[in-house]
Structure formats: C-alpha cells, structure tokens
C-alpha cells in the first residue's frame, strides 16, 4: 500500500525498472554494468540523507553516517545526495566545487554505496530542491528558524558570515526530504531539531493546502559518538581533529599516536577506563570482539600501554581504510563512470522530484491555467 503519490512513483520507478527516455536504458547502470531492482521495493520505507561536498570524507563521517547508509541499502529505498547548495552557505572557492563533488562521489562509492541499490545524486542537478524550499518557506515561521541551535552556533562562531542561506538551511533540508516522500531520515543528535522543524513544516503545509506530505521520522543510530583526535569534540574538518579516509597509513599512525586517550591514565602503570576513551570507541568499529576484550582487560589492569593499544587499532583501521582507498583509486581512473552514476541518479531523482513539485504547485494554486468564470 502506498502512503503518498511520491512514494508510489519511487516504488514504481524501482520496481518497474523505468527506462530513460533519452537513452532507452533501463534503471540505473551500476559500476558492474548490471541492474538488479530490489525485489522488496514495494514494502520498503524511503530514506533520504545528504552530505556536503567538503572535499574529504573523514572517519567521523564514515563511521557516523556513511557506514549506516551502506547497510540501509538492503532494507530501505535510499536517496543519498551530495548537497552542494547547502555547502555554499559556508565560505568556499567556486573553482573547487566540481572537484569536491566528484571526490565525494568517489568516496561514497568506495565506501560501498551501490548505484544499483540506491539513488546517488547531486542536489543542484535537481532544481526542484530549491524550488520546493521556497514554497515551504512560505509556511515556515521566522521565529522557529531563529531558534535553531545550529544557526545560533554558526552565527556566534562566524559573525562575518551570517547569511540568509544559513538561516534557511533547515527549510532546504526539509525540501530535500519531502521531495522524495522519505519517511525515515538518519539523524544524529545535532540534526534532530532540524528534523523536528521539517515535521512542523509538513503539519503546517498539510493544514493549509491539504494532505500532501508525510511527516518524516528519525532513524536513530546506535552508533557510538565518534570524537575527534583531541577527545574533546565531534570529529570535524573545521576543528582539525579528523582522520581522512584517503590519508596514508603513516599519516594515520602519526595522528593516532598522539590522539587523546583516557585523561586519567597519566602513566603507563595507571589503569585506564576504556569507556571514556575514544581509542576504545574506535576499536569497537575496527577490532573483533576478541581484540576488544584484550584491550578492555589490558587497559583496566595496566597490562597494556596506550601505544600498544593504538598499534592494535591501527591494524584494523589500515585494513578497512586501505580497501576503501584501493576502490577509490580505481574509480579515480574512470571519472566518466563516476559522472555517469551521478547523472543517472539525478535522472531518477528528478522523476520523483518533478511529480512532487507538480502536486505542490497545484495544491498551492501556482501555475494553474486561468479560467474565466
Ligand atoms: S589502553 Fe587503550 S583504551 Fe585504555 S586509555 Fe589507553 S588508548 Fe584508551
């Protein structure tokens, strides 16, 4: 049973393998050239999530978001978007944007996004995102936007760059989600407020113009919080406390070697507490249970030192990131293939986005033909 027209269109596109009218090809070609529509397409919920083209995917992005996206491909109809229009609310260099977008696409594909099982595209390739944002802005209370913690934080830390785009950021996010009838949105704690606003926008729009959108629900992650190498704040490029996925093994080791641990473990002979140590949090992703037990016991009894512990972690990190780097290198050698994946993703996304936008315009009375009474 379809819960909305957009949902129907999404499911139909995937389940019926809609052909591209310009090329005659069906569905999305993937990196292997095959296409395998998901047999559960009719019963799966739709997920939307986006990432800014920051120029580098780091361990925090990977563990906190992208790894979950890869898993969601098996259980949900997924739309993953490189949100370049969100990116321009920060200071940026125009001549770097296309390279950053391309690099982000490579990184996401190398991490395991499969264009056969998800729709991966660039936000600006689907103009309906910004069009819907404007329509939604007309039902979004100004005061609610002013209360957004992220906006207040950014305004406080970057008083020289308080632009209207930053203020409208959550409205564009709502448009991203609602265009595709997404019922689930993977959110971290820092995005919950924006999703709550998106739900409020849906309620206001539906109340004024009739039932049009579904209220998206959060898809809460069980992923432990990944701190930066300083052990203080979330891993973030702007704080310089990240490990980049493309960094060499030796660079990664240099960063891990000096990374913060349990601050109470001042000497090698002091027992530590893995539960307050970010290095142990990383072991939970990169080491098997047996090794995690070695770390827990060794740490709490001072049986191992922090350097021993980090060397053990390094093995898992270099194994997993090495595999991602290898796949990224292969993709980098075939840029046309990556661009084709994005173009096909945008093509599929636009079919849904256009249908949603037509319905929104009709509901709002925009663009209806004049009929003299
Ligand atoms: S031994 Fe490992 S888990 Fe314990 S404080 Fe040192 S780095 Fe952290």
Task: Give the active site residue among 39, 154, 255, 311.
Answer: 154
- Cα 353–355–361 angle (5° rounding)? 95
Tell me which fold the domain 5-21+40-226+335-364 belongs to. Rossmann fold (3.40.50)
189-203 per-position pLDDT tens digit: 778 899 999 999 999
Cβ of residue 299 lying under 6 Å from some atom of ligand 1: yes
Cβ of residue 280 lying under 6 Å from some atom of ligand 1: yes
pLDDT of residue 14: 46
Cβ of residue 73 lying under 6 Å from some atom of ligand 1: no
pLDDT of residue 72: 96
Distance 189 CA to ligand 1 centre (A): 26
CA 40 to CA 266: how far, in whole Å?
A: 53
Tokens found for residue 330? 């292969």
Strand order across the 184-187 sheet? 118-122, 77-82, 46-51, 184-187, 217-220
Average pLDDT over residues 321-335: 97
pLDDT of residue 40: 54
220-242 per-position pLDDT tens digit: 877 888 899 998 888 888 788 99
pLDDT of residue 187: 87
Helix (H), strand (E), coil (C) string for the chain: CCCCHHHHHHHHHHHCCCECCCCCCECCCCCCCCCCCCCCCCCCCEEEEEECCCCCCEHHHHHHHHHHHHHHCCCCEEEEEECHHHHCCCCCCHHHHHHHHHHHHHHHHHHCCCCCCEEEEEHHHCCHHHHHHHHHHCCCCHHHHHCCHHHHHHHHHCHHHCCHHHHHHHHHHHHHHHHCCCCEEEECHHHHHHHHHHHHHHHHHHHHHCCCCCCCEEEECCCCCCECCCCCCECCHHHCCCCECCCCHHHHHHHHHCCCCCCCCCCCCCCCCHHHCHHHHHHHHHCCHHHHHHHHHHHHCCCCCHHHHHHHHHHHHHHHHHHHHHHHHHHHCCHHHHHHHHHHHHHHHHHHHHHHHHHHHHHHCCCCCCCCC
In 3D space, the residue among 269, 351, 111 whose CA is nearest the CA of residue 103 turns out to be 111
Considering just the CA atoms, what is the radius of gyration of the chain in Å?
22
Give nearest CA residue, ligand 1 atom 3. Answer: 274
Tokens found for residue 15? 């389940």
The ligand 1 atom nearest the CA atom of 274 = 3
**Catalytic residue flag (residue 39):** no
Cβ of residue 173 lying under 6 Å from some atom of ligand 1: no
pLDDT of residue 226: 87
Distance 309 CA to ligand 1 centre (A): 6
282-296 per-position pLDDT tens digit: 999 999 999 999 999
Distance 165 CA to ligand 1 centre (A): 42
CA 117 to CA 36: how far, in whole Å?
A: 8
Show me where the domains of the chain are located. Answer: 5-21+40-226+335-364, 237-328
344-373 per-position pLDDT tens digit: 999 999 999 999 999 999 999 999 888 887
Which one has a higher pLDDT value, 40 or 119?
119
199, 154 in Cβ contact below 8 A?
Answer: no
pTM, entire model: 0.87
pLDDT band (50, 70, 90) for residue 328 = very high
pLDDT of residue 189: 77
Cβ of residue 312 lying under 6 Å from some atom of ligand 1: no
CA 12 to CA 194: how far, in whole Å?
A: 29
For residue 60, count other CB atoms closer than 10 A to its CB: 19
Distance 304 CA to ligand 1 centre (A): 8
Tokens found for residue 216? 């998206």
As its CATH architecture, domain 237-328 has: Orthogonal Bundle (1.10)
19-74 per-position pLDDT tens digit: 333 333 334 333 333 334 444 555 789 999 999 998 789 999 999 999 999 999 99
pLDDT of residue 238: 79
Task: Give the active site residue among 234, 255, 310, 311.
Answer: 234
Mutate to test the pocket of ligand 1, among 253, 279, 296, 314 (most ligand atoms within 8 A of CB): 279
**Catalytic residue flag (residue 237):** yes
């Amino acid at each position: 049973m379809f819960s909305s027209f957009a949902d129907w269109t999404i499911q139909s596109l995937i389940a019926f393998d809609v052909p591209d009218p310009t090329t005659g090809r069906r569905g999305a070609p993937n990196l292997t050239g095959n296409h395998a529509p998901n047999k559960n397409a009719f019963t799966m919920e739709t997920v939307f999530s986006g990432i800014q083209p920051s120029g580098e995917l780091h361990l925090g992005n990977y563990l906190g978001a992208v790894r979950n996206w890869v898993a969601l491909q098996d259980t949900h109809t997924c739309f993953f978007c490189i949100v370049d229009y969100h990116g321009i609310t920060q200071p940026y260099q125009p001549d770097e944007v296309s390279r950053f977008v391309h690099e982000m696409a490579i990184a996401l594909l190398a991490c395991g996004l499969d264009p056969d099982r998800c729709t991966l595209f660039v936000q600006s390739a689907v103009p309906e995102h910004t069009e819907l944002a404007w329509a939604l802005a007309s039902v979004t209370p100004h005061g609610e936007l002013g209360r957004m913690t992220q906006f207040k934080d950014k305004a406080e830390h970057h008083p020289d760059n308080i632009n209207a785009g930053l203020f409208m950021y959550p409205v564009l996010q709502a448009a991203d989600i609602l265009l595709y009838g997404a019922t689930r949105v993977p959110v971290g704690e820092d995005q919950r407020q924006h999703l709550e606003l998106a739900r409020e926008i849906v309620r206001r729009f539906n109340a004024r113009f009739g039932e049009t959108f579904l209220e998206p629900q959060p898809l809460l992650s069980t992923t432990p919080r990944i701190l930066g190498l300083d052990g203080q704040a979330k891993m973030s490029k702007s704080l310089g406390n990240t490990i980049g996925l493309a960094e060499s093994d030796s660079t990664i080791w240099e960063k891990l070697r000096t990374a913060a641990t349990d601050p109470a473990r001042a000497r090698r002979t002091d027992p530590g507490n893995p539960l307050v140590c970010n290095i142990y949090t990383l072991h939970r992703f990169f080491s098997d249970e047996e090794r995690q037990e070695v770390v827990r016991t060794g740490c709490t009894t001072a049986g191992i030192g922090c350097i021993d512990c980090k060397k053990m972690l390094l093995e898992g990190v270099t194994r997993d990131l090495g595999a991602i780097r290898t796949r990224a290198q292969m993709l980098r050698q075939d840029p046309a293939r990556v661009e084709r994946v994005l173009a096909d993703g945008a093509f599929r996304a636009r079919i849904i986005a256009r249908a949603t936008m037509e319905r929104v315009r009709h509901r709002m009375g925009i663009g209806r033909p004049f009929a003299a009474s």
